[in-house]
Structure 1
Amino acid sequence: MTQDFSGSLTPPFSPYLPDLLVDETCRAPRFSCAPTSCSGNGNTFSSSSYLSSGSLKRLLLRLDPSPTDYESDTVEIFDFPWVAETALVESTDLLFGLFRQKLDILENLCQPLSLDPGQLSNIHIEAEEIRSQCVQFLHYVKVFIYRFLDPPQKMDTIPVHPYEELEAQLPSKLIEELHGLRLYLGHLCELPNNIQAALQLQHHGKVLPASWHLLHLHFDVHWSILEILQILGDKMQGQIVYAHEYINLIGENLTNVSLIEELCEDLLCDLIYYAANRYAQVRPSEALNDQIYHCICVKEMWILLLQLLDHRSKGSSSESFWIRVNKLLKSLNQGSNSMESHRISKTVQCKDPLGLSWWLIAHLSPLYTFDRNGNREEAVQISSNWKFIEDLLKKSSDAQNGVREDELRMHLQCCLSLCDIWESNLTAGTILWEYFSKNLNSSFTIRWLGLQTLACVSKSPCSMLEVVRSCCTDKPSLDLYKSDNSYLIFLRILARLMKKDKESRGAHPWKQIKGRIYSKFHQKKMQELTEVGLQHFFILFLLLAIVADTEDVASRVIDLLQFLVPGHLSTSQRALLWRGNFAFLLIYVEKNMDISALAEKLSHSFRETAKEFLVTKGDFGQKHTLWTLLSTYVDGVQEVFETSHNLQLSEEKLLNDGFSMMLPACRESELCSVLNFLQTAVARLRLKCQL
């Protein structure tokens, strides 16, 4: 392990050589959210960030970390000049000791003191200089490994130079030093509150507190350790590096591979911890509007980890980004009660881990649109995570979990946002259908929001169809939480998945999913539907008629409605049945399909009702009930005639002698509305005949 640092600041192996040029021009990449660091080229991240500077891209392409720097004979590290090609080999302990000493100084600057503005400015300058020196040193380590460390060679019996012996031990020693540095720093989530508060610093001035510099230095160090380990692994050509002294002392295995895996997991835990703290302040209605990042540097760290983990998973057995995130979120949802609970379940305190999981996945997935330089790419294939989402959907729709309507809306809104950027997955739709098919009679309302959409039954075929069209649109809406209930959001998801599946595979997905939908409706189910349930029934099948096979769906609806017993239906239910049928007629007309089959059945029902209206005398309550139905029919026929362009789709079959039966029994106000409609309808039919 690392030897005790004596405190001497004299570099013993790399003396100052006055005739050699010292390289002081290098500016290493770093995390920064200060406004003065903005790149100004439209990039979200600072020009000196690991993304915008090209540092990540060079890392993954195995290129020189800093091709234009460290070209002179010496380099200045911690205010001392060192021989660039030998310093890390000869003075490993000393350099890392100086590094830790600088960290201690910066931590001391963060102590809360009552200082005047002049002292605050001096502290800012000193803290910035310390951070710059620390970042510069870690950058030098990366460059040294890439340029000056020789690949592993077989050691033979020929005596070697002492420097070569030290150089051969450097990879093992670096693993020990980096592991020690990781333990020295601890987890990001364990930093004192006054340090973590710097993440939420809203107004960045020219003078930043020392806590801001220290926090961002922690970010720099954690990521730089990963970079160093990645470069070292590439340099060793796949050969595993063991920390021999650590293993001999502690008795546990420590390698470059195990260290990078552990550090990646620790960083993900820390980032989820930060997200959980932010989620605690997010209202469900604002879930998609509020980001999971307190600071742009946290967002950059997420992207860096995403890119690195997916890159490593392609060439080895290392787990991808989604697999790692899924494991952590599963552990978080299981809680800390199980014997094998993960550290994250003890670190992250969250009252709603299911909602946090949805929120995280919905916000992390768009990070795949950023390339290795931090630029957003619009047309890019985003790696999906449907398997985990299917598990979340089962949890969200499980009645035993007691998910409330307001929570379910947020979950489904997150799911809908994922449907927009991932490939289609019809299994997600069928999982949700299993839940909603059992709850069709529910109003899906939130008490404090009042009645919403489907809780108020559509008053006309057009308004019913308008609800369906809104579910079929691809236009994103961030206000769905208040405008749509969970059932409507489910229908949006279903429509999006079916349309996307058809576009990507060519074959229509209708054959795969219609059996699951049709099988839920049988005689008992249909007769149990309330008025709200019938509304849900029609909205579902109208949506299917638009995105799938219109004739097949309409035919199925006619068959299912045969299960209903008219005598057991309320007036409002009967009126809703007619409005639903007229909504189907409107779809037929819009698709230029002949409506004769549907029109004949509907007009027959109208004729029978008109006959009953004619013979009913004295019972004003019954006449009012019948007029409600008849006026629904008249309004529906009028909407069909107004929608049709040329009345060549058998629209005239909606007109029969039922009108002549009802006219004698109408009151004056009722008679006026019917005659006005008939006058308009006949005029259009005459115009059709003339053409």
Structure 2
Amino acid sequence: MDDLFKMARKDAMTLDSQLITNVLTAKSCGNSSSNSAFSMRRNCVDLYSFLDEYISCVAAVPKYSWCLGKLLRPLCEQMEKLQKQLGPLTSLSESVYLHASNARGNKCEQPSYHLFHMHLDLRWMQINVMLKVYKAWDSHQALCDSQVIESSSITKADISRKANSLMFELIDLAFLRFEKLFGSGCCKKSPFSCSCIQDLWVYLHRFYSSLFNDNEGTAFWSSFCGYIGKINGLHGEDFAIGNPHMYQEAPCSSKAVFSLWLLSNVTILHKSAGLVVSNNHALLENLIKLIVADESNEGDIKTCLVFIESLCIQLWEPKVEPIVCLWEYFHKKINNSFYVPGSSIDSIATLSKTSSGLLKHVRTLIESKRSCATTSYQHFIRIVGLHLQRTKNTPRHWNVIKGRVFSKMSGPRLGGLSQTGEHHVVVLFVMLAITVGIGQVDNKFIEIITTIKRAKDNLSSDLTQGLMAFIVLSLNEKQNVSKLVGVVVDHVNAISPLDGFDVLKRFTEEVQEIFTMDDSPGLGLHLLLDSWMSSYLTCCAPAESSRLLESVLVVVNRIKVRSCLNSPDQDTVLFVERLWEQLNPYFNGMSAHMPVQSAELAASLVVLFINTGNHDRASAIMNLFIVKDCSDVWISRRFITKLILNDNVVSILPRYNKIIIKAWIRCCIICTDAFSMEMKSFTSYISNIDEISCICNNGDSSLLDSKEPLLYLCNSFRSKFESTENIYQKQNLRERLTSYMDGIDRWLKSNTVSQDHEIVQNVFKASGNMVRLCANLLYTKSKPNTVLQQIIDTLLLPASVRNPEYKLSVAVTQSIKEHLHLFIEGLHSLYSNQDSYIMRIIKELITVYVPRCVTLPSPLPPTSSTRFALVAELASFSCNLRCLIFETVSNQFFKKKSKVPHLHACHALTFLKESLSLNDRNADVIKCFIRGCFERLCDMMMFCDDKSAALSHTKKIVKVLLNSDMLRENSDLIDSLTYSLAALCNEHLAWSSRQTFDLVISLSNDAPDLVVRFLPQLLDTIKHIERKRGVGYDKNLRFGLERVETNLRSIKADHHRQD
């Protein structure tokens, strides 16, 4: 045996000596195999295996038990020598630890790997051999003669000391590994550098159980906890530390973190191996107290909480004391941010601004398998939540936590909370509410909120957010929220919309979420509707008010559906009444930018009030949206179209028929989506009203089928008006249509300033067609303020337009260019009764808008391609109207015998030129042109300043007229032209003979044939003047005539030469 151990010691020494180069050379290893390190390790292990087997064989045969007495003492001496030679595990160099783990395992050729594992093998096999000898000796002691067999030198205490020594060295090894890890790196790595160390920890547990016949592992954990306590300076068993300097230099917090790390990993290891896990709460509590007493940094606290969660939540039976210890630490630091200095920006906790975000964050803390907490406080909250979930059937745990938490929420303490502290309190109480139920903590939370508000005279956004989260939780648990809502609504009502709009906006978003998530208006939810709502709707943007109203509409529609099926309960009545109280001021102050949801909400409220029997409220809303002229026609239309879909409401609508028809006409005038489903639905309802159907029922077509329903209605009224001879029926039709148009000036005025060009175009087009088709019904002679007058004064002749410097908007200008002819045509149809007012209006329209609508010729491209429709539609007008237009243009812009032309003469000339050019093949238009403005154009040619642009422009127009093919083809036109020329000569020849003869000469240059035909009339006029003067021959007149004849002969001679 001595030789065997001597060989073993030699192999161990040889293996240790090779660490200098970490390579075995052929010289040092002799003729051994390439893996000599493994061979030497195996030789040593085989020795212990042989001893183990030998002792088992001897112990099995009682008659050989004397061998144990002979073998025991020398065996113990030899094993002790070998252990002393090897030394403790911590005495190995660092390079050995670096190579201790290798994926190749025993095939590895690194001497350091085999040296380290030889240490593990021999230490484990030594205590196993000692245990086997002890048990064999103990079992045979009664059978043996005590005088023959010496007493055993191996006691249970010796074996226990050896096992403890091995365990403590493994703990020391783990500490060396811990020191190599950086910060929270130990959370991702275990204390076991290789699987062999893991196995050894498991074997040690079983070894202690075998040594002390302890299936509970008490001896193992007692030794483990005792050594850990010694390391941390706790009062415990008197264990000697193998390397005291190793721990002396380490801070207390580091030793505590290490202890938790090792304790957690060893517990996990033993549980995975199926071993009994002991609940070492006493050690844990002591370690927690050390950590919090040492004022550990945030990084160490976060790391510790990872292991504390593992032990308290996953591995051990629940116990409340560790949670209480942690709370004692965190409540003192409740105002801290728990930020780790030097951490990346991603590690900073992102705080949600909504209650749903807060609830999601808190639920995520306890629902995720791995902690997602970004701070130690959040991790503590996670541990509290998980612990309460585990112990929900054990009231004692909650009672202890409640007592400790609530007792720390004193008035002075709450008054000194920072914003961060308030957030931490909110998160804590939300976690408690989620885990133990809202009813356990809501009263205390309200008390905390009230205390803070009293101390600070305000509530922070975090506290408001917490209250809203509690409301959501209460609704989820179907508990009444009146107390919670009362606190938060009182706070929000006191906020000024101008100073605290952001707070109002966030609160509104919270309310929206609550309305959309909850299916019932009960449980005190109606208290959320208070004065803040009308304040917010008044000052917020349309998009924001739209979102709020949409959320309220969801709830109202749910209630509406239920109220149609069952009689509304008291909660429903309270909710609807409260909602109306807040929306009434908003609806009364209707603006042009109200969202369409307001109309839908109002319509739903009408249905609800009818279902609840409150017809007065229903009528009040209908008066707001139908009777009152809402500034936004789309709101009225949406309101009415939503109402007519409900059978309960349709029964009371007939009393509003006249107002609804009025609203429909307004929609036709203003709305541009004439073919939308909403507009078709509205038109369908209108067509079924008796007073409309009796007018529009023509058999072949209907109001609903027409492409332009308003024009169809106007045509129907006109046809009915013209077809009846009864003066009373005529008056009735006039009054009925007038009543439908009541207040039209307000409708039109608000929309002519619209930024939407399509709306402006639609307004002018619809209004113009009404005037064209129904002028007789819209106007009564000598009656003031008729509908026709309102339309004209609002759209075409407001006071401002008479100011020459007033600039019309682009949309209005283009609309008038396109539709002015409709108004003029309708007005002219009224002139049959010689109404001076109508004539004055027509002339004023032409005077005002010809300069504004005519675009002067320019080398630059035109800014608008819109043609002046008054020019384009001349051919469709009556002869009288065409003459009136030309005469009005001539009389207003071309003054007789004026040397200086009118300011807008060029615009008028451009209008005449375009009229002539566009209708150069229309004899009727040309005839009216000659009758209306030829004389005044000639007057311009006679008297206008030679340098004026208007003169050259006039000459071009006259030239175009004189060279017209239609003029040559139609003798009536020539007669009309010569008649006008003769009238001009009669007027001017006597007193302005030179200008007159210059004009005739100028005309002869453009149309000599026409002047030749005119010469006899010119001669007659000269003779008539001579007779008037009492002379037989006027030299000047005869000389002028001679000049004309000479010019004609010259022109004729030039033609002959050209031929």
TM-score under structure 1 length normalisation: 0.72
Q: Which residue of 2 aligns with 1:580?
A: 466
Q: Which residue of 2 aligns with 1:72?
A: none
**Cα-to-partner distance string for 1:638-683 (whole Å, 9 max, x where unaligned):** 1212222455544333223442344334465654454444444433
Give the deviation of 1:364 after TM superposition: 1.2
Among 495, 501, 510, the alignment partner of 2:391 is 501
Change (3 A) 1:661 1:459: closer
Residue 492 of structure 1 pairs with residue 382 of structure 2: yes
Residue 317 of structure 2 aligns to a residue in which SS? coil
CA contact (8 A) 2:228 2:259 kept: yes
The 2-side partners of 1:473 and 1:355 are apart by 26
Give the deviation of 1:462 after TM superposition: 1.0
Residue 458 of structure 1 aligns to a residue in which SS? coil
CA contact (8 A) 1:187 1:270 kept: yes
Q: Which residue of 2 aligns with 1:410?
A: 303
Give the deviation of 1:445 after TM superposition: 0.8
The 1-side partners of 2:331 and 2:80 are apart by 54
Residue 659 of structure 1 aligns to a residue in which SS? helix
The 2-side partners of 1:114 and 1:165 are apart by 46
Residue 358 of structure 1 pairs with residue 260 of structure 2: yes
Q: Which runs of 5+ in 2 are unaligned?
A: 143-149, 566-1059
CA contact (8 A) 1:458 1:464 kept: yes
CA contact (8 A) 1:200 1:295 kept: yes
Residue 521 of structure 1 aligns to a residue in which SS? coil
The 2-side partners of 1:569 and 1:445 are apart by 29
- Given residue 408 of structure 1, which amino acid in structure 2 is its aligned partner? I
Residue 502 of structure 1 aligns to a residue in which SS? coil
Q: Which residue of 2 aligns with 1:177?
A: 78
Among 3, 9, 12, the alignment partner of 1:103 is 12
Change (3 A) 1:259 1:340: closer
Q: Which residue of 1 aligns with 2:285?
A: 390
The 2-side partners of 1:255 and 1:316 are apart by 23
Change (3 A) 1:447 1:113: closer
- Given residue 473 of structure 2, which amino acid in structure 1 is its aligned partner? I
Change (3 A) 1:410 1:580: same
The 1-side partners of 2:471 and 2:337 are apart by 26
Give the deviation of 1:420 after TM superposition: 1.4
The 2-side partners of 1:664 and 1:388 are apart by 63
Change (3 A) 1:687 1:607: farther
The 1-side partners of 2:540 and 2:406 are apart by 41
- Given residue 409 of structure 1, which amino acid in structure 2 is its aligned partner? K
Residue 408 of structure 2 aligns to a residue in which SS? coil
**Cα-to-partner distance string for 1:12-31 (whole Å, 9 max, x where unaligned):** xxxxxxxxxxxxxxxxxxxx
Q: Which residue of 1 aligns with 2:913?
A: none
The 1-side partners of 2:140 and 2:160 are apart by 16
Residue correspondence of structure 1 range 341-490 to structure 2 within 5 A: 342-347=241-246, 350=250, 352-371=254-273, 377=274, 382-398=277-293, 401-418=294-311, 419-449=313-343, 456-473=350-367, 475-477=369-371, 480=372, 483-490=373-380
Residue 529 of structure 1 pairs with residue 384 of structure 2: no
- Given residue 8 of structure 2, which amino acid in structure 1 is its aligned partner? F
- Given residue 362 of structure 2, which amino acid in structure 1 is its aligned partner? V
Among 213, 217, 233, the alignment partner of 2:118 is 217
Q: Which residue of 2 aligns with 1:596?
A: 482
The 1-side partners of 2:419 and 2:26 are apart by 69
Length, aligned pairs only: 550
The 2-side partners of 1:145 and 1:117 are apart by 37
Among 276, 280, 290, the alignment partner of 2:179 is 280
**Cα-to-partner distance string for 1:527-573 (whole Å, 9 max, x where unaligned):** 11111111111111111111114212011111222212358256xx4
Residue 236 of structure 1 aligns to a residue in which SS? helix
Q: Which residue of 1 aligns with 2:556?
A: 682
Q: Which residue of 1 aligns with 2:51?
A: 141
CA contact (8 A) 2:305 2:380 kept: yes
Q: Which residue of 1 aligns with 2:1052?
A: none
Greater mean alpha carbon deviation, residues 311-320 or residues 288-297: 311-320
Among 635, 656, 664, the alignment partner of 2:538 is 664
The 1-side partners of 2:128 and 2:24 are apart by 38
- Given residue 447 of structure 1, which amino acid in structure 2 is its aligned partner? P
Residue 383 of structure 1 aligns to a residue in which SS? coil
- Given residue 632 of structure 1, which amino acid in structure 2 is its aligned partner? R
Residue correspondence of structure 1 range 3-152 to structure 2 within 5 A: 92-110=1-19, 112=21, 122=32, 124-149=34-59
Residue 651 of structure 1 pairs with residue 525 of structure 2: yes
The 2-side partners of 1:533 and 1:313 are apart by 52
**Cα-to-partner distance string for 1:397-418 (whole Å, 9 max, x where unaligned):** 12xx131001110011111122
Give the deviation of 1:381 after TM superposition: 5.6
Residue 187 of structure 1 pairs with residue 88 of structure 2: yes
The 1-side partners of 2:125 and 2:526 are apart by 77
CA contact (8 A) 1:588 1:595 kept: yes
CA contact (8 A) 1:229 1:256 kept: no
CA contact (8 A) 2:72 2:153 kept: no
The 2-side partners of 1:470 and 1:113 are apart by 51
Change (3 A) 1:297 1:385: same
CA contact (8 A) 2:102 2:108 kept: no
| Identity of matched residues, % | 22
Structure that is richer in helix per residue:
2
The 1-side partners of 2:562 and 2:215 are apart by 72
The 1-side partners of 2:155 and 2:86 are apart by 18
TM-score under structure 2 length normalisation: 0.48
Change (3 A) 1:438 1:145: same
Change (3 A) 1:681 1:646: closer
Higher relative contact order (CA 8 A, sep 6+): 1
- Given residue 520 of structure 1, which amino acid in structure 2 is its aligned partner? K
CA contact (8 A) 2:131 2:211 kept: no
Residue correspondence of structure 1 range 629-644 to structure 2 within 5 A: 629-644=503-518
- Given residue 146 of structure 1, which amino acid in structure 2 is its aligned partner? S
Residue correspondence of structure 1 range 561-572 to structure 2 within 5 A: 561-565=449-453, 568-569=456-457
CA contact (8 A) 1:471 1:492 kept: yes
**Cα-to-partner distance string for 1:288-322 (whole Å, 9 max, x where unaligned):** 21121222111111221122224434449996222
- Given residue 69 of structure 2, which amino acid in structure 1 is its aligned partner? A
Residue 280 of structure 1 aligns to a residue in which SS? helix
Among 474, 480, 499, the alignment partner of 1:624 is 499
Q: Which residue of 1 aligns with 2:852?
A: none
Give the deviation of 1:632 after TM superposition: 2.5
Greater mean alpha carbon deviation, residues 137-146 or residues 534-543: 137-146
- Given residue 95 of structure 1, which amino acid in structure 2 is its aligned partner? L
Among 157, 160, 165, the alignment partner of 1:261 is 160
The 2-side partners of 1:144 and 1:434 are apart by 59
Give the deviation of 1:144 after TM superposition: 1.9
Give the deviation of 1:328 after TM superposition: 2.0
The 1-side partners of 2:215 and 2:104 are apart by 43
The 2-side partners of 1:491 and 1:445 are apart by 16
The 1-side partners of 2:24 and 2:70 are apart by 47
Q: Which residue of 2 aligns with 1:33?
A: none
- Given residue 425 of structure 1, which amino acid in structure 2 is its aligned partner? K
The 2-side partners of 1:314 and 1:133 are apart by 32
- Given residue 82 of structure 2, which amino acid in structure 1 is its aligned partner? L
Residue 199 of structure 1 aligns to a residue in which SS? coil
- Given residue 416 of structure 1, which amino acid in structure 2 is its aligned partner? E
The 2-side partners of 1:666 and 1:125 are apart by 83
The 2-side partners of 1:442 and 1:607 are apart by 32
Q: Which runs of 5+ in 1 are unaligned?
A: 1-91, 154-162, 242-247, 372-376, 614-622
Give the deviation of 1:126 after TM superposition: 3.1
Give the deviation of 1:132 after TM superposition: 2.3
Larger radius of gyration: 2
